[in-house]
Amino acid sequence: MCTFLAKSFTSRAGLHSLRRCKLPSASFASVVQEPRRDDLHATPARSGTSASGLKPLKLYWKLAKGKLTLWVSLSAMPGYFLALPGFVDPTVAIALFTGSFLTSSSAQTMNQMIEVKRDAKMKRTAMRPLPSGLLTLPEAACFATGSGALGLGILAVGTTAPTAAVAALTMATYAAVYTPMKVRSPYNTHVGAISGSLPTLMGFTAALGTGLAVSPWLPHAMWIFGMQTLWQMPHFYALAWLHRADYLQGGYKMFPLTDATGAETAAMSKPYLAALCALPWAMSACGAASWMLPVGAALPSAYWWHTLQAFEKKPGATTCRHFFLGSLSYLIALLALFTAYARVEKASDDSITNKDSQSSGLEPAWRVKLRSYLLNVCPHEQACKELLHTAWQNGGCPIAKPPL
């Protein structure tokens, strides 16, 4: 299986074309040296990369794009903690995180297998394990196959079958649709944004399974999916503009690559930021979250908008990098705030016979009781109820809820 997968990513010239790929300049060639024939076919241990065996682990971490994969795994967790109808099951939570990490590692590895020749032409990617020759295509194929199969198995057995299905869909769209599209159309970013947001649904399916389709948590799942999809557009526009020379060298097609000044990139990003600033307010207005969601989101939104304005006024590597880092702080804050403040809308009084009937299937009783006990310590929600007439909604502090 590993051999078949490796061959599918290798042309008739095979590794010879990779070894003979010409570097764009002499200065670049002095930094990134062409791998030797024996290096390409040797394992990292035989080629002298490490005597202790620690180096190969680092190579596979890079092959999996470990930092990015960690973000993917973390994005799957909020939905589970939010929609879980009972106490947290540590085995399910661990299975969700581990399975997400392994399947993402597989997708990232297949991405690098497809792009190995282009990576060799780019300064920022030339020293990745495959183009540098520190790992071979068969080794990468085995890693992609093993991590993907193991990750899907863990998700199917440790969580739910729909969770494994979402993970499989993520892998397929990322490796088979988004990756080839990167050299064909600048709209690849839009496709990649959808693929990169699918893991946010995995937490909800891990908690509810197929029941998510008829659950009151479905709008919340769609909200976080939409939020992260919109977020990825300015995030990757900034990254593409920062490394536009490299991406052009690799033959990629992205809208910011033809923007010499940065003004177009800032203009393209602005509508997405405006929508992202409005989303928390819309969610609270619909009764799907406490008003503390937009209140808490105001600071990261304002900071990210400030970095965009700085980039717009004075385009450059420094301001664009600040804009890029601002997107990361925004996402971290919104995922945390969403987990804390998102709520299901309160049912009508006629349909409620007791407290347990409302909490069953929606939220665990311990969370409902704790919020009810600490309701009066939240002046913000009380003020919103009085001033904005929102007593009808089921909002509140992350640990407070109006009594029935």
Residue 259 makes CB contacts below 8 A (sequence gap 6+) with 241, 244, 265
Q: How confident is the prediction along the chain (404 residues), in pLDDT tens digits per residue?
A: 565 555 555 444 444 443 444 434 433 333 333 444 344 444 444 444 444 455 688 999 999 999 999 999 999 999 998 888 878 889 999 999 999 999 999 999 999 999 999 999 999 999 999 999 999 999 999 999 999 999 999 999 999 999 999 999 999 999 999 999 999 999 999 999 999 999 999 999 999 999 999 999 999 999 999 999 999 999 999 999 999 999 999 999 999 999 999 999 999 999 999 999 999 999 999 888 888 889 999 999 999 999 999 999 999 999 999 999 999 999 999 998 898 888 886 544 444 344 443 444 466 665 566 555 544 555 665 666 566 554 445 444 544 444 33
For residues 169 and 238, is the Cβ–Cβ distance under 8 A?
A: no
In 51-198, which residue ranges form alpha helices assigned H by DSSP?
54-63, 66-75, 77-83, 90-114, 116-121, 137-158, 161-172, 179-181, 188-197
SS3 state at 92: helix
Neighbours of 112 (CB within 10 A): 25
For residues 179 and 72, is the Cβ–Cβ distance under 8 A?
A: no
SS3 state at 267: helix
* 309-318: long-range contacts, CB 8 A cutoff, minimum separation 24: 311/238, 311/262, 311/265, 311/266, 312/263, 312/266, 312/267, 312/270, 315/261, 315/262, 315/263, 315/265, 315/266, 316/262, 317/242
Residue 389 and residue 383: Cα distance in Å, rounded? 9
Return the closest-CA partner of residue 246 out of 80, 373, 122: 122
Structure tokens at 112: 């690098």
**Maximum alpha-carbon separation in the chain:** 78
SS3 state at 166: helix
Tokens 């909020």 belong to 78
What pLDDT score does 21 carry?
41
For residues 171 and 148, is the Cβ–Cβ distance under 8 A?
A: yes
In whole angstroms, how far apart are CA 394 and each of 84, 189, 340, 349, 404?
17, 37, 14, 12, 10
Residue 63 and residue 231: Cα distance in Å, rounded? 25
Residue 178 and residue 169: Cα distance in Å, rounded? 12
Residue 142 makes CB contacts below 8 A (sequence gap 6+) with 2
Tokens 């991406």 belong to 247
Residue 176 and residue 44: Cα distance in Å, rounded? 28
**Which letter does DSSP use for residue 177 in this model?**
I
Return the closest-CA partner of residue 118 out of 69, 64, 63, 182: 182
Q: What's at 15, amino acid-wise?
A: L
